[in-house]
Chains A and B, each alone.
Chain A
Amino acid sequence: MSREALLAALPDLVAKGLITAEQAERIRAEYTGSVVPEDRKGQRMTAVLGTVGAALIGLGLVLLVAHNWDGLPRGVRALLAVLPVLAGQTIVAFGLWRRPGRTAWTEGGSVFLAAAVGACLAIIAQLFHLGGALHDFVLLWSVLILGLCYVPGSAVVGLGVLGLITWQAVLVRMEDDTLPWAWALLLVAFLPAAVRRMRDVERRVAAGWTGAMLAIAIAVGVHLFIPEWHPVVVVGTAALASLFTLTPWWSTTPAPGTTAMRRVGEVLLLWLLLMLGSFTVVDAVQDADDRPGAAAVVVAVLVLSAGAAYAWAWRRRRPFHGGPMPEGVVAIGLLYLVSLASPWIAVVLANVLTLALGVWHVREGTHAGALRRTNLGLLLIAVPVLWRFFEVDLSFVWRGLAFIAIGIAFLLLNLRLLRARKRS
């Protein structure tokens, strides 16, 4: 097996529970020569502490501004608005000039500068009593700090931008009842920086966070484009989630950030499956007798996108290779169709599927001695069981016994796995 093929197979091996994530990390480090020396560890710690410190100072600055120091002369307040921005810019420029590649300078300086820009805009709003909705303020702030994701290339500011633009989109949709086009534009503008960050094998934690946040931002933002909610949206959500789960297979060597995207997609699919297994939710699906209308267009776009993503991943992945989750959209789609004809059959099928997934995870997890995977399987068995217990009218005795039984199962399986690990 070539080195590239081995590296490409690592996520699958982790997903199957054959090796742990830490073991995969060590193999990757061995074959890519990216073993972390002690001085690099020290630099990482400095970077984390520098970023946290800068974030706290920046947030403190924003809170200080919110007090509104109207006793100070206007000129002084205007100067106070600009000075932190200049200070932040000086720190970032110095980092680029004298300390290029040092994460502490890049992240710390950028985070402080991003907060200073927000504080500056807030002071100007106070100075001139500027009105306008909060989403306009958030939008301008996002636009002004977006560049920091490219130069110097701050991952933390990138996460902040994702959070801000998504918040802005939610505010626009909720308060103005208009579609969040600015979110779409800003997301497109941010994507090249996000892709670069997600591929960064040197900073895997940052890559993972970027991947996860990007997936969450896309999931939230896309749903805000649905004019009116209709049950068919679950199929669109499943398509989007399946698309996320396929991202590790889009390139020969999976980018570190795509693993996090895959996890978000998997969680989303499991959540949908649990929802379709609920009597209450499926009843609501059947009650919605109106046609989906414009929601169907969004769902169609998402399903087509998932199809394209599946085709793109086909070169490296065959059906059910590395787990069944990318095929989840088909299962959710079928369950939705069944629920239209017979909601009760859909509920039963969804629960059986969830339980089967749970059992499969427990089996694979116990074979590989993977605690995390075994517990995920147990969770998949326990959640629908407990949820159903609350949906049907059962006495406290039966509910209590169910809780105790599941609790004992958790304890016993985990103890067994821990003992097996100790022996090996």
Chain B
Amino acid sequence: MRRPLWMFMIIALAQLAAPAWMMWRYERVRLHGTEHRFRTAPIDPRDPFRGEHVVLEFEAETGPFALPEDWTDGPLYAELGADSAGFAVIVRLGSESRGGDAVAVTVEDWSVNADDRTVGRVKLPFDRYYVREGQGPRTEALLQPTWTDEERVEPLPAHAVVRVRDGRAVVTDLLIGGRPLEAWMREPS
């Protein structure tokens, strides 16, 4: 067999291995990860390649959280727990991964308070939920407050179901008013 063909087979293997590894890694989290429910408020942007999605912002991302003693820069690991209603919260930030239910978070630099060594806001490693083309605006409409006779009607509460395992996280569902988004989208608009 020609040498270029062998070289191409190595390239081809890498092209297949990278997606296969990604799928295996995240599928394991999706199937066997611990489930957490994050309160969220989505908005709907687009991505030129990956399509329409809703960007998720989580209440759990807002602190203040105490910064680890040795932290100066870079990501931190957030240990997850649950509040009295069962929704996910960040219990503690650490500078090293302890595996399990800790996920890597990015510190929002502008919210760091150097005096008392706290951070006001961090970013969780999952921030989007992909939807079928055209469903983004409908999802957003479901989550916007509405007005009836000059009275503001609050939107239904929304939360994302996230599976976490070995420091990795996968969003498995988006629930609005306790119903999966899919169920809402099956209804005629």
Contact = CB atoms under 8 A, between A and B. Distances in A.
Interface of A: 62, 65-71, 78, 81-82, 85-86, 89, 92-93, 96-97, 100, 113, 117-118, 120-122, 124-131, 134, 137, 140, 144-145, 147-148, 150-152
B133 A68 contact: yes
A130 B131 contact: no
Contact of A129 (B5, B9, B130): B130
Interface in B167-187: 170-172, 182
A82 B19 contact: yes
A97 B5 contact: yes
A124 B22 contact: yes
A192 to B, nearest CB: 14
B49 A122 contact: yes
A125 B19 contact: no
Interface in B5-61: 5, 7-12, 14-16, 18-20, 22-23, 26-27, 30, 47-53
A182 to B, nearest CB: 16
Contact of B5 (A70, A93, A113, A117): A93
B126 interface: yes
A67 B49 CA distance: 10
Describe A's contact surface by its main secondary structure.
Answer: helix
A172 B16 CA distance: 26
Contacts of A70: 130-132, 182
Contacts of B48: 66, 134
Contacts, number: 122
Contacts of B2: 96-97, 100
B125 interface: yes
A60 to B, nearest CB: 13
A71 B171 CA distance: 17
Given A68-B52, A118-B49, 15 more contacts: A62-B49, A66-B49, A67-B133, A68-B131, A93-B8, A96-B8, A100-B4, A124-B23, A129-B53, A129-B172, A144-B14, A147-B11, A147-B14, A150-B7, A152-B8
A122 B16 contact: no
Contacts of A127: 23, 26
B166 interface: no
A151 B8 contact: yes
Contacts of B130: 68, 70, 125-126, 129
Given A96-B2, A96-B8, A144 B18 contact: yes
Interface in B42-99: 47-53
B58 to A, nearest CB: 12
A99 B34 CA distance: 52
Contact of A130 (B5, B26, B27): B26
B50 A122 contact: yes
Contacts of A148: 11
